[in-house]
Amino acid sequence: MIESHDTHENRETPRSEPMARDAAARADRPLLDREVPLPGSAGDSMSMAALHQWLDGERSAADVTLDPAQVALWSRLSAETDRRRQVTVPEGFMDRVMSALPAVESTSEAQPVTATSPQIAPTAGVPLSLALIIGTALLAVGILIGRLIA
Partner 1 sequence: MTENIASQLTEIDSDQDVITRVISGDRNAFAALIGRYSDPLYRHALGMTGSPDVAEDILQTSFIKAYHHIGEVRGRFDAWLFRIVANGCKDWLKNIRRTHLSYDEDDQPSGYATPDEDLDRTELRQDLDGALAQLAPSLREAFIMKHVEGRSYEEMADLLGTTVGALKMRVHRAREALHALLEEKYA
Among 9, 28, 56, 109, binds partner 1 (CB under 8 A): 56
SS3 label, residue 2: coil
Residues 88-107 that bind partner 1 (CB under 8 A): 88-90, 93-98, 100-101, 103-104, 107
72 touching partner 1, by CB under 8 A: yes
Among 20, 31, 38, 55, binds partner 1 (CB under 8 A): 55
For the residues of 65-131, what is the DSSP string, one character each? ---HHHHHHHHHHHHHHHHHTT--PPTTHHHHHHHHSPPPPPP-PPPPP-TTS-S----TTS-HHHH
Among 44, 45, 64, smallest CA distance to 54 is for 64
48 touching partner 1, by CB under 8 A: yes
Q: Which residues form the interface with partner 1 (CB under 8 A)?
A: 48, 51-52, 55-56, 67, 69-70, 72-73, 76-78, 80-81, 83-85, 87-90, 93-98, 100-101, 103-104, 107
